[in-house]
Amino acid sequence: MAVNSAEPRSLALLGLGAMGTALAHAWLAAGYQLTVWNRTAARAEPLAAEGARVAATAAEAVASADLVVLCLLDDASVGDTLADADLSGKDLVNLTTGTPDEGRARAEWARARGARFLDAGIMAVPPMIGVPGSGGYVFYSGSREVFEAHRDTLAVPAGTTYVGEDPGYAALHDVALLSGMYGMFAGITHAFALIRKEKDIDPRDFAPLLANWLVAMTIGVHGTAEQLHSGDYTQGVVSNLAMQVAGTSTLLATAEQQGVSPELLTPFMDLMRRRLDQGHGDEGTTGVVDLLLR
């Protein structure tokens, strides 16, 4: 990927797990002067052979560059790792997985130590890093100045999506998408369980049917967004809540007949019925969103 020649081409990377190592490979391949540090020093040796400078301590790594990227185990490890480092004048980009509140607190923590801060949420797995067209990208939130100053550098390993000045927004977007993913995985798991005992149904033949159906149903994401924006939960409804709740009995009966636990489905079904009982049978399922709010 192209690099802005006006931007400093050096940075420090702290943390060389699977993701940190993939990031390091990408920046080294792009010609960056990279200083790395890892608690287990042996993990840095292959990168040294590629031209990375290996710092003996985290503080030494931080001192080597104005841009410091963190890819550590958790938020607590960020504080522990940087405890002895002078952060004055540094730009910290935190790629460590955390919660929105941890991102906000870490931004204040960094500001109190004289650093600018950008939090991040990585929407990729290590094999996608540094691979053009892989679809991997990273959410960033916090200081827009830091993001703009280092946009080209950050774009080397994966695409960049800035989601706002609130430092917690990157983690929030990350967790929201992952939560949607696990909900989908729950449905996939239940679907395969229903056919699992059937010797004449090959799961490999069933898989494309399920995948294509799920893709077709993703249009519902946009419908939900429009309804939440407008406040009209009946807008564009084709299959209303009353009809859907009535149909759940067939799903549950089929699970019973196939010897499959309905435990992945019943929490959502219970919420649908509660919304229906509140008198919203002409809506779709968007109103369930409001039932989840506390």
Residue 153's closest CA among 55, 33, 291, 266? 33
pLDDT at 48 over 60: yes
pLDDT at 276 over 90: yes
User: What is the arithmetic mean of pLDDT over 69-76?
Assistant: 97
Neighbours of 34 (CB within 10 A): 27
Count of CA atoms in the C-beta half-sphere (13 A) of 34? 29
Burial of 8 (0-12, 13-18, 19+ CB in 10 A): middle
Beta carbons of 37 and 21 less than 8 angstroms apart: no
Structure confidence at residue 8 (pLDDT): 54
Structure confidence at residue 1 (pLDDT): 40
| Long-range residue pairs from 47-54, CB within 8 A, at least 24 positions apart, any chain | 47/16, 47/21, 50/25, 52/24, 52/28
